[in-house]
Chain A
Amino acid sequence: MIMEKERITDAELVSRYIKGDESALAVLIKKHKQKIYSFIYSKVFDRDVTEDVFQDTFIKVIRTLKLGKYNEEGKFLPWVMRIAHNLVIDHFRKNNRMPKFDNGHEFNIFSVISDSSLNAEKILIKNQVVDDVRRLIEELPEDQKQVLVMRMYNDMSFKEISENTGVSINTALGRMRYALINLRKVIEKHNIVLTN
């Protein structure tokens, strides 16, 4: 039955489906699923998103056909592809990250793709910087060090710092300010490079 239906044109299958033959839809999906799915995947590069867009595409197809709004007889596949394409665009709009691929000669892949993960060298440098900063903080006067550690490492608010150290918020703010000024002075004086 399905084998026979696969030889029938899309237009005929669409017509049968509109008239209530549900099995015609199964044939249409079976016939075109690979092409449509691959098309979506080639744009989004994500299996889960592809699955969602594929599903939404056919939900739109089903609703349009059942509501009798389909008027592109004989061009079923291009019509479905257009729906899929529009849904892919909607997906990127929603996520606000439309990848722009320009195949021109001046194209630089790094203008659109950056490797945010740290490689072994960057991890070493980062750990070094973290150690350097900790050692610099150790050199600060005790009251300034206390406020800076509470604020930056313990993530405490100035109100909490004030309560814990028994000084006013303004004093805590002032100590933080001097702690940063002193750190900068030491860094500049010794030409310490703290970048990753």
Chain B
Amino acid sequence: MAKLYIENSKNFGTLQPTEETVNFLLNYSRALSVIEYNKLKFEALLN
């Protein structure tokens, strides 16, 4: 009987990022603002 060395890809479907990562992204998004000056765009992270 041949051995299987690969994981069943169906199992990957249940994987999810942690709540912490999602919250970090949402907070990062809220904190990031783009300032436009003379056709130039600057990013600013405001905590």
Contacts and interface: CB of A to CB of B under 8 A. Distances in A.
Mostly helix, strand, loop or mixed at chain A's interface? helix
Interface string A48-61: 00110011001100
How many residues of A sit at the interface, in one of the four size bands? 20 to 34
B34 A67 contact: yes
A193 interface: no
B13 to A, nearest CB: 6
Given A25-B29, A37-B15, A59-B25, 15 more contacts: A29-B26, A30-B22, A34-B16, A38-B12, A38-B13, A38-B15, A42-B9, A50-B17, A51-B18, A54-B21, A55-B25, A58-B25, A62-B28, A62-B32, A66-B34
Interface of A: 22, 25-26, 29-30, 33-34, 37-39, 41-42, 45, 50-51, 54-55, 58-59, 62-63, 66-68, 109, 113
